[in-house]
């Protein structure tokens, strides 16, 4: 089925959302998503974005990419209330990120890499340390087709990279330090410190 048909089918089934999240092992998570270039009408695209936001809030999560609900398009939504302790927020550069839509996004690194635990709604139950540039230059379009360029740092930069990677068929575990992989339960019990330095020493993986 063509992409427009997939979107129409999804919207008909889950208008207003949320939609079920695709889990690891589904080929759509490993495909390079299509550039948005008029193949889906504006109204249908807007309804897809509404479903993405509803899915993100319901999960809850800080971002969802279209492939995570079965749609191979370069569209994602982001938003983070950053409801974490102050020492965690400072260590991770985590600050509230207002909800917004990214269409045909890309990014270039502008800072040194830092490693932190992250997870994925399409691979629940586990997290792993991923080294990512702390600062990026992000580009994307909004629903009106306006192109934006924005410098992002800290956790907002990490979220943007994570969701943009999804659109290239890349899941966070592809970039992770595999020795750092932990269940969510162990993460909370053992490795909930503001940085993963203690986990790196105990589990034997390098940090940038």
Q: Which residue of the set 134, 163, 185, 198 is catalytic?
A: 163
Output the pLDDT for position 111.
85
**What are 46-49's contacts with CB under 8 Å, separation 24+?**
46/143, 47/11, 47/15, 48/7, 48/10, 48/11, 48/73, 48/75, 49/75, 49/77, 49/101, 49/143
Closest alpha carbon to 127 in 59, 184, 84, 179: 184
Output the pLDDT for position 1.
77
Known catalytic membership, residue 9:
no
In sequence order, the 6+-apart residues with CB closer than 8 A to the CB of 201 are none
Look at the pTM and tell me if it is higher than 0.85: yes
Angle at 174 between CA 168 and CA 176, to 5 degrees: 130
Residues of the chain with pLDDT under 70: none
- pLDDT tens for residues 123-140? 999 999 999 999 999 999
Output the pLDDT for position 200.
98
Give domain 3-203's CATH architecture.
Answer: Alpha-Beta Complex (3.90)
* Eight-state DSSP code of residue 193: S
Q: For the chain, what are the domain ranges?
A: 3-203
* Eight-state DSSP code of residue 20: P
């Amino acid at each position: 089925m063509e992409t427009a048909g997939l979107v129409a089918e999804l919207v008909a089934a889950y208008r207003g959302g949320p939609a079920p999240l695709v889990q690891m092992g589904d080929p759509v998570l490993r495909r390079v998503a299509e550039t948005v270039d008029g193949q889906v009408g504006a109204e249908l695209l807007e309804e897809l974005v509404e479903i993405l936001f509803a899915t993100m809030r319901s999960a809850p999560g800080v971002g969802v990419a279209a492939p995570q609900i079965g749609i191979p398009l370069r569209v994602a939504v982001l938003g983070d209330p950053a409801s974490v302790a102050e020492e965690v927020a400072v260590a991770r550069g985590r600050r509230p990120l207002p909800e917004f839509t990214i269409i045909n996004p890309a990014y270039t690194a502008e800072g040194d890499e830092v490693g932190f635990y992250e997870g994925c709604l399409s691979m629940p139950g586990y997290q792993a340390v991923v080294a990512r540039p702390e600062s990026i230059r992000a580009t994307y379009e909004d629903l009106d087709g306006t192109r934006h360029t924005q410098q992002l740092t800290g956790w907002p930069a990490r979220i943007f990279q994570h969701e943009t990677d999804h659109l290239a068929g890349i899941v966070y575990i592809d970039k992770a330090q595999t020795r750092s992989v932990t269940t969510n339960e162990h993460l909370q019990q053992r490795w909930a410190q503001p940085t993963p330095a203690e986990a790196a020493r105990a589990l034997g993986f390098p940090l940038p």
